[in-house]
Amino acid sequence: MTLLHTLRWSFLIGLADARAIHDVRTWVFGWLLRVLCQVVFFASIGLVVGEGKVEYLVVGHSVLVGASTVLFVVASTVWERRLGTLPLLVASPSSPFVVFAGRSAQWVLEGLVLATLSLLVAPAVFGLPVRPTTVLVAVPVLLVSLLSVFWFGLLLGAVVLARPHLRSVVANLAMLTLMLFAGVNVPVAFWPDGLSVAANALPMTHGLAAVRTLVTTGALDLGRVGLEAAVGAAWLGAAILVFARLVTRVRRDGTLAHEG
């Protein structure tokens, strides 16, 4: 079985999971509406803070809702252990990393849709001059950013497999870390030098900066996009290594075979 074949079937399983969680009606009038209200709520704080802050917060929280959706990968990675399928995945000749990546890839697509719709709708609520064509140009940048978050989330999911009850705590802490330090509410430079350096190693930081530049000036910052891709590649490499170590451990001593 080729890697692409494994990835395809894993992705189809992930889509089945998504359909089991929401149908079109509950997704549009439940989840999407909730996400848009969240972006508008945080952006409205900018009306109190001062001029120019509304647009900053609209862009930041629009990208953040996409990232927070992608971080559901932490929980869906743990599902394999809860369902008792982890030993089968480890015993199979296919790469468990490919399986885990494929079966959670639907979060990237959903996050991309949510972030894009937020960038289209939220600015209109505040009368901001954000053109739909600009948002469409931003979609590939959003995709690079969310893939970076996805690899980061997969790494966290592999770590949390040993402590499945911590999956929600870890995912929420990751989301709050991005919210605080990745430039969502305040520029990265606002933080002390040490934190600023660390923030540049977080997923989404450079991609969000590129989206913000595109929305405010219409210019595509390819340098920032390249940095985001490099950060994502680093997190991807780390996730692959952690999964390889996990597989070796399970094959050696049978730990993590069942729900803890």
Written as six digits, the tokens of 216 are 């405010």
CB 134 within 8 Å of CB 218: yes
Predicted confidence at residue 59, as pLDDT, reads: 95
Predicted confidence at residue 1, as pLDDT, reads: 53
Domains of the chain, residue spans: 3-253
CB 108 within 8 Å of CB 150: yes
pLDDT at 44 over 70: yes
The one-character DSSP state at 185 is: S
Residues 102, 115: Cα–Cα separation, whole Å: 21
Predicted confidence at residue 5, as pLDDT, reads: 74
* pLDDT band with cut points at 50, 70 and 90 for residue 260: very low
CB 234 within 8 Å of CB 252: no
From the list 68, 257, 260, 236, the residue with the least C-alpha distance to 155 is 236
Written as six digits, the tokens of 122 are 């939220």
pTM: 0.90
Sequence-separated (6 or more) residues with CB below 8 Å from residue 90 = 96, 247, 250, 251
From the list 95, 102, 56, 70, the residue with the least C-alpha distance to 232 is 70
CB 9 within 8 Å of CB 101: no
Q: What is the pLDDT of residues 45-74, one digit of tens each?
A: 988 887 678 999 999 999 999 999 999 999
pLDDT at 254 over 80: no
Residues 201, 17: Cα–Cα separation, whole Å: 31
Residues 59, 226: Cα–Cα separation, whole Å: 20
pLDDT at 190 over 80: yes
CB 168 within 8 Å of CB 75: yes
